Amino acid sequence: MPYRVSGELGPSGGFFGQKHGSEFSLNECESLGWGEDVCDPGEDAGVICSEVRLVGGTDLCSGRVEVHHGSSWGTVCDADFDQRDAEVVCRELGCGAPKELRGAAAFGQGEGQVWAEEIQCRGNESQINFCPTAPSQNQPCSHGNDVGLVCSGKSTDVRLVNGSSPCAGRVEVYHQGGWGTVCHYGLDMSAAGVVCRQLGCGDAVDALGEAHFGPGSGRIWMAGVFCSGSESSLKQCGSQGWTEDHCDHREGAGVICSEVRLVGGTNLCSGRVEVHHGSSWGTVCDADFDQQDAEVVCRDLDYGVSYSTVSPSLCLGFGGN
């Protein structure tokens, strides 16, 4: 899986080697022709590939963990792989956060070598090959103990820190191998909505400034953020550019997302009540939910006052859809 591509743009604004991504070899891609170039050696292209992959799952974000070492791929013993290692693998593959670790060759037994090393990631590395290793204390380990991993599939280059839950807090983004804060200038409700949606945290309730959730530390990665609201990640929004900031940590941005949502109704103000807990959404039993609960939900969602608690529950919105 390609991790990064570096190079120069052609005179028309696109890369010289036009491709669709489905080709089996670079020779099958279009180009200006062999020997027909309009660039010099200083514009040579480079590619960095990921040294980890997930095999045998239902998609690219689930499967048996395999790492590339030397000239071959090998599996990892389930006893030598933990949550922090999983965080790095999911992040490197662009697959979000770890959802489930599975041992005992849950995705089938691999072939070749089972690596006799324990991966010791801190959890903040951008690639698995940046993680320290040590000789495994769990040898011998067979393919019957190959570790498997299921990632959430959602991007985790943004997080909310120092709040009461993962859905509220100081906005931080992951860039160039480390976490940094976001200046509150420009980070409005549209941007807050992007953050909440990216984290799977429901609708944005508030966008806060003046380091409401406490000052951060380290780099201030983004400032002057501008989002239309349709972006799938905060990094897709416009800004003054990475590290181009004119503020300090006393001006850090904060976001509060709703931890309740209404699903399957005829509009945003009606539907099945679901609440966010941990890293997933769950439903609520009708016997455990009354008029007072409904009023809190409608107020939390800024949809007005409760109209009914029948199934599906319905809120009477103030100017809502």
pLDDT tens figures, 32-56: 777 766 677 777 777 666 788 999 9
What pLDDT, on the 0 to 100 scale, is given for residue 25? 66
In a domain, 321, yes or no: no
Task: Using the predicted structure, report yes or no on whether residue 16 has a pLDDT greater than 50.
Answer: no
Span 242-253, average pLDDT: 78
**Whether residues 119 and 174 fall in one domain:** no
Pairing of strands 148-151, 98-102: antiparallel
What pLDDT, on the 0 to 100 scale, is given for residue 308? 45
Supply the range of the domain harboring residue 18: 1-34+44-49
Q: How is residue 213 annotated by DSSP?
A: T
Asked if 315 contacts 262 with a C-beta cutoff of 8 angstroms, the reply is yes
In a domain, 1, yes or no: yes
Q: How is residue 252 annotated by DSSP?
A: B
What percentage of the chain carries pLDDT values higher than 90?
17
CATH assignment of the domain containing 293: 3.10.250.10
What pLDDT, on the 0 to 100 scale, is given for residue 219? 85
Cis peptide before 98 (omega within 30 of 0): no
Give the residue among 101, 203, 87 at the shortest CA–CA distance from 146: 101
In a domain, 239, yes or no: yes
In the structure, what pLDDT confidence band is assigned to residue 267 with cuts at 50, 70 and 90?
Answer: low
| Long-range contacts (CB closer than 8 Å, 24 or more residues apart) made by 233-236 | 233/155, 233/157, 233/158, 233/194, 233/198, 234/157, 234/158, 234/171, 234/173, 234/182, 234/191, 234/194, 234/195, 234/198, 235/157, 235/158, 235/173, 235/175, 236/194
> Which of 119, 151, 183 is at the close of a domain?
151
136 vs 300, residue with greater confidence: 136
What pLDDT, on the 0 to 100 scale, is given for residue 306? 44
In the structure, what pLDDT confidence band is assigned to residue 217 with cuts at 50, 70 and 90?
Answer: confident
In the structure, what pLDDT confidence band is assigned to residue 166 with cuts at 50, 70 and 90?
Answer: confident
In a domain, 39, yes or no: no
In a domain, 265, yes or no: yes
Rounded Cα distance between 158 and 254, Å, is 12
pLDDT tens figures, 63-107: 999 998 777 899 999 988 999 899 889 888 878 778 889 999 999
pLDDT tens figures, 280-315: 677 888 887 888 888 777 776 654 444 444 443 444
Span 249-273, average pLDDT: 81
Classify residue 78 as exposed, middle or buried by CB count within 10 Å of its CB (0-12, 13-18, 19+): buried
Rounded Cα distance between 183 and 186, Å, is 8
What pLDDT, on the 0 to 100 scale, is given for residue 141? 85
Highest mean pLDDT among 32-41, 150-159, 193-202 belongs to: 193-202
Asked if 274 contacts 261 with a C-beta cutoff of 8 angstroms, the reply is yes
What pLDDT, on the 0 to 100 scale, is given for residue 155? 57
What pLDDT, on the 0 to 100 scale, is given for residue 280? 66
13 vs 301, residue with greater confidence: 301
What pLDDT, on the 0 to 100 scale, is given for residue 255? 94
What pLDDT, on the 0 to 100 scale, is given for residue 33? 72
**Whether residues 244 and 288 fall in one domain:** no
Q: Structure pTM?
A: 0.48
> Which of 97, 121, 151 is at the close of a domain?
151
In a domain, 18, yes or no: yes
Report the number of secondary-structure helices (H) and strands (E) in the chain: 3, 20
- List all residues 6 or more positions away from 258 whose beta carbon is below 8 Å from its beta carbon: 167, 196, 201, 202, 203, 204, 205, 300, 301
**Whether residues 112 and 196 fall in one domain:** no
Question: What mean pLDDT value characterizes the chain?
Answer: 77
**Whether residues 173 and 130 fall in one domain:** no
What pLDDT, on the 0 to 100 scale, is given for residue 302? 59
**Whether residues 274 and 188 fall in one domain:** no
Q: How many domains, the chain?
A: 4
Asked if 60 contacts 95 with a C-beta cutoff of 8 angstroms, the reply is yes
Classify residue 80 as exposed, middle or buried by CB count within 10 Å of its CB (0-12, 13-18, 19+): buried
> Which of 213, 231, 257 is at the close of a domain?
257
80 vs 157, residue with greater confidence: 80
Task: Using the predicted structure, report yes or no on whether residue 320 has a pLDDT greater than 50.
Answer: no
Rounded Cα distance between 88 and 131, Å, is 9
Span 146-162, average pLDDT: 82
In a domain, 207, yes or no: yes
